[in-house]
């Protein structure tokens, strides 16, 4: 009897299926988020109101909900990709822009602009990125003395994060929490975001993610020992700093608009690796989609669970992310 040839399962097909499923899930969540509230519109009414004729309900949704949803999607994607990059270049599964102090320092610089230089609001992501880069180099230089051990990076990052969080809170209390810009950044609240905020954030996220995808092949090599990477003719230090700056800009620009969101850059890369593996050419775009879903889901839950009261997305992420961080710290995760 002839043996029947076993068909080999192409893992790429599964990857495409995962991408398609999560992309559809994101679209579904966007439409669901549009309709959660006192005003509801069906798909036909939404399309007609957006492109063909004026509809008051669609107009209200467009002005109030669309900016918030788009910002959630962009910030979630940016922070998630930032986490992927940091975990790669630091060779640390615990690396997250919130844990290593990037978010808190960015938030502090953004708070400074909102409190004392409001006319520079359009440049807030730039100043936030400067703050994030300063924090990264502090963590990088101090961790270098400990050979970049995962625990030293986390401990130094927590110290930096606590310091900048305290400074941001001090400014918040000093202004009496009366300034919406300061309070929203400190609390991670995106309730009052407008199309102006969308336009400010768009270039940083799109350019940052494009550069991250461009660097994906280098990220695949970063898990090797430095001497092995150097033997391939690659400047390890230069590429590590370059990719870290891209990651910092993604996280910092997002933080400037939505405030400090912890654990998103930690959770999403680990879950993404379960579905898609560790090839950064696929991991980065998949994490972008999953990050958008995660942040939008957190924000949607926050504004609907105790309606009409709202829970900031940062609180939701903290509740979910804390136990996840402890789990990774104690058990570790193997994706092989």
Sequence-distant (6+) residues with CB within 8 A of 16 are none
CA angle at 300 for the pair 294 and 301, rounded to the nearest 5°: 90
Proportion of the chain in helix, strand, coil states, percent, rounded to 5? 75, 0, 25
pLDDT band at 242 (very low <50, low <70, confident <90, very high): very high
Residue pLDDT, tens place only, 55-97: 787 888 888 889 999 999 999 999 999 999 999 998 888 888 9
Residue 324 tokens, joined: 């996840």
pLDDT band at 336 (very low <50, low <70, confident <90, very high): very low
Residue pLDDT, tens place only, 5-64: 444 445 566 788 999 999 999 999 999 998 887 777 777 778 888 788 877 878 888 888
250 against 225, higher pLDDT:
250
Q: Which helix (H) or strand (E) holds 335?
A: none
What per-residue confidence (pLDDT) applies to 188?
A: 66
Q: Does the residue 62 lie in any domain?
A: no
Give the Cβ contact number of residue 280 at 10 Å: 24
Residue pLDDT, tens place only, 102-111: 999 999 999 8
Separation between Cα atoms, residue 303 and residue 181, nearest integer Å: 19
Tell me: pLDDT of 115 over 70: yes
Separation between Cα atoms, residue 304 and residue 148, nearest integer Å: 42
What per-residue confidence (pLDDT) applies to 46?
A: 80
Pick from 76-85, 110-119, 277-286: least confident: 110-119
Q: Does the residue 312 lie in any domain?
A: yes
What per-residue confidence (pLDDT) applies to 9?
A: 46
Tell me: pLDDT of 122 over 60: yes
Average pLDDT for the chain: 85
Residue pLDDT, tens place only, 284-327: 999 999 999 999 999 999 888 887 778 888 888 888 888 887 87
C-alpha radius of gyration, the chain, whole number? 21
Q: Does the residue 256 lie in any domain?
A: yes
Residue pLDDT, tens place only, 256-268: 999 888 889 999 9
Separation between Cα atoms, residue 78 and residue 285, nearest integer Å: 11
Q: Does the residue 194 lie in any domain?
A: yes
What is the pLDDT averaged over residues 238-265? Answer: 92
Q: Does the residue 169 lie in any domain?
A: yes
What is the domain count for the chain?
1
253 against 311, higher pLDDT:
253
Q: Does the residue 316 lie in any domain?
A: yes
Q: Does the residue 30 lie in any domain?
A: no
- State the CATH number of the domain containing residue 95: 1.10.3470.10
Sequence-distant (6+) residues with CB within 8 A of 179 are 114, 115
Q: Does the residue 56 lie in any domain?
A: no
Residue pLDDT, tens place only, 184-229: 676 667 878 889 999 999 999 999 999 999 999 999 998 888 888 8
Domain that holds residue 274: 70-327
pLDDT band at 334 (very low <50, low <70, confident <90, very high): very low
């Amino acid at each position: 009897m002839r043996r029947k040839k076993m068909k080999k399962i192409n893992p790429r097909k599964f990857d495409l299926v995962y991408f398609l499923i999560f992309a559809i899930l994101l679209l579904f969540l966007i439409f669901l988020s549009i309709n959660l509230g006192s005003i509801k519109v069906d798909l036909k009414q939404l399309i007609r109101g957006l492109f063909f004729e004026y509809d008051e309900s669609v107009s209200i949704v467009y002005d109030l909900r669309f900016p918030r949803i788009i910002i959630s999607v962009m910030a979630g994607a940016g922070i998630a990709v930032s986490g992927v990059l940091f975990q790669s270049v630091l060779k640390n599964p615990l690396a997250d822009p919130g844990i290593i102090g990037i978010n808190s320092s960015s938030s502090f610089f953004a708070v400074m602009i909102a409190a004392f230089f409001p006319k520079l609001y359009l440049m807030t992501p730039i100043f936030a990125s400067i703050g994030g880069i300063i924090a990264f180099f502090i963590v990088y230089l101090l961790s270098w003395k400990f050979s970049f051990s995962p625990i030293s990076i986390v401990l130094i990052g927590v110290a930096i994060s606590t310091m900048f969080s305290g400074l941001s809170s001090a400014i918040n209390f000093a202004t009496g929490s009366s300034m919406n810009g300061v309070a929203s950044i400190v609390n991670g609240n995106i309730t009052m975001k407008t199309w102006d905020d969308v336009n400010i954030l768009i270039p940083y996220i799109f350019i940052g993610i494009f550069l991250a995808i461009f660097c994906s092949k280098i990220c695949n090599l970063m898990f090797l020992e430095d001497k092995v990477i150097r033997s391939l003719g690659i400047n390890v230090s230069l590429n590590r700093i370059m990719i870290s700056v891209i990651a910092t800009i993604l996280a910092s620009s997002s933080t400037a608009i939505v405030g400090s969101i912890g654990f998103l850059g930690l959770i999403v890369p680990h879950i993404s690796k379960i579905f898609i593996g560790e090839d950064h050419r696929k991991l980065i775009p998949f994490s972008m989609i999953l990050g958008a879903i995660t942040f939008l889901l957190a924000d949607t839950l926050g504004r609907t669970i105790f309606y009409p009261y709202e829970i900031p997305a940062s609180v939701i992420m903290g509740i979910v992310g804390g136990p996840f961080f402890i789990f990774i710290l104690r058990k570790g995760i193997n994706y092989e």
